[in-house]
Amino acid sequence: MNYEKENCSINNGSGHGSAFCRPDDSNGGDAKRTQEGFVSAEDAATYDKMEADVINLGKEIERLERQAAIDAELAKATSTPITNQPHAGTGGEAKTGRATDEYRRAFWNGMRNKMSYEVQNALSIGTDSEGGYLVPDEYERTLVEALNDEVFFRNLATVIKTSSGDRKIPIVTSKGEAAWIDEGGQFTESNDSFGQTTIGAHKLATMIKVSDELLNDSVFNIEQYISREFGRRIGAKEEEAFFIGDGAGKPTGIFNATGGAETGVTAANTTITFDDVMDLYYSLRAPYRNKAVWLLNDSTVKAIRKLKDGNGNYIWQPSVREGEPDRILNRPYRTSIYVPELAAGKRVMAFGDYSYYWIAERQGRSFKRLNELYATTGQVGFLASERVDGKLILSEAVKTLDVKAAGK
């Protein structure tokens, strides 16, 4: 059997070159085929062997290619360190603006040292209207956590974020009601009435002084120090305003006569009774009592604890369960030095659902470094400020116990 070169083709079924040659049957194939026209047994065996060789050769080529790909992958340099947490994934969105690491580094470099042009350029995206710099996003969350630790009322109220000054909040001033009608009778119109209240953004600021020696000390954690002082100072003023603020350049407090809570009960004098407490409890509508909390001063707590029944037993019994705080009429209470003390003409106690008190935070707390003001004393000043407002948007959600003024 003859094999001609021109009868050879390159094909292995996988795109790789292999010689596949067929027998030369240019003589008509009479000697190569049976009378029925089939390929002879000898030629069929030859074809089968060549086909098997081609298949085996293709498999060997594929194996070598896979081995080469594995070797190339193993030879790559691991130049990118693993910085993300396990199972956190690496496909997150790129940080921008005040969330970038560059801004965070430039901000704290600027706080520790005098501003260089490179630092000023990096901080340009966070410059406020008064020459200060907005704190990095991550650090702002730290400041908010510090405020929440200092001001427990933030955890009771509703905190919203605003990007501008005033914000108008729609409220329901009166509600419609259903009515019984006869068969085929006309439906009675009863619509809700809507109004709106405005919540703004008042500026609250403090100045923190740090010595040059501390700033130059690499061990000194300026971030932690400022967050602690910011939370303590700003938090104290926030709590005071949320309770007794008059709304003039500051939030409107719960106990303020105008814009604050509704009067639930008025005690005849400073010698309040447990009946007064009971009346205050039931002056609040049932839906609001589910999440209601008492707010009062320690002096009022002391007066209530001293109340006794006819047998001389204290009415207010302490909690008998370990870890469970004492309650008044099965509702928790919180005390604050900024709640008015028990005195004539004062609103001395509040009971209600404080989620209807809204605290509006304007996004972006600002810091500014003062280089020259305290240079003679070897100190550097830091101005820290925020814009915040607070208001009770639904007055019926909170009730107060008022003490009648003397002589009335």
Domain membership flag for residue 223: yes
pLDDT at residue number 9: 46
3-state secondary structure 91-133: CCCCCCHHHCHHHHHHHHHHHHCCCCHHHHHHCHHHECCCCCE
Q: Which two tokens stand for residue 116?
A: 């260089």
Co-location of 165 and 24 in the same domain: no
pLDDT at residue number 333: 93
Co-location of 163 and 24 in the same domain: no
From 348, 327, 325, 345, select the one nearest 336 (Cα to Cα): 348
Domain membership flag for residue 347: yes
Phi-psi map region of 32: left, alpha, beta (phi>0 left; psi -120 to 50 alpha):
alpha
The model carries a pTM of 0.64
Domain membership flag for residue 262: yes
Co-location of 142 and 28 in the same domain: no
Co-location of 270 and 153 in the same domain: yes
Per-residue tens of pLDDT for the chain, all 408 residues: 444 444 444 444 444 444 444 545 444 444 466 667 777 778 888 888 888 888 988 888 998 988 888 888 777 766 665 555 555 544 556 665 555 666 666 665 666 665 444 434 433 444 444 445 566 666 667 777 777 778 899 999 999 887 766 666 666 655 667 777 777 777 777 666 666 677 888 888 888 888 888 877 767 777 778 778 888 888 899 999 999 999 999 999 999 999 999 999 999 888 999 999 999 999 999 999 999 999 999 999 999 999 988 888 888 877 766 677 788 998 999 999 999 999 999 999 999 999 999 998 886 677 777 777 777 888 888 888 888 999 999 899 999 999 998 876
Domain membership flag for residue 280: yes
Domain membership flag for residue 114: no
Q: Please give the Cα distance from 185 to 114 (Å, whole number).
A: 80
Co-location of 204 and 351 in the same domain: yes
Co-location of 57 and 141 in the same domain: no
Co-location of 213 and 331 in the same domain: yes
Tally the domains of the chain.
2
Domain end, chosen from 15, 30, 61, is at 61
CATH code where residue 358 lies: 3.30.2400.10
Co-location of 40 and 142 in the same domain: no
pLDDT at residue number 15: 45
Co-location of 23 and 169 in the same domain: no
pLDDT at residue number 6: 43
Co-location of 373 and 275 in the same domain: yes
Domain membership flag for residue 371: yes
Co-location of 272 and 151 in the same domain: yes
pLDDT at residue number 117: 40
Which residues form the domain of 398?
135-174+191-408
Domain membership flag for residue 82: no
Domain membership flag for residue 130: no
Domain end, chosen from 12, 29, 61, is at 61
pLDDT at residue number 99: 59
Q: Please give the Cα distance from 2 to 24 (Å, whole number).
A: 5
**Beta strand 262-267 with 202-211: parallel, antiparallel or unpaired?**
unpaired
Domain end, chosen from 13, 45, 61, is at 61
Co-location of 196 and 290 in the same domain: yes
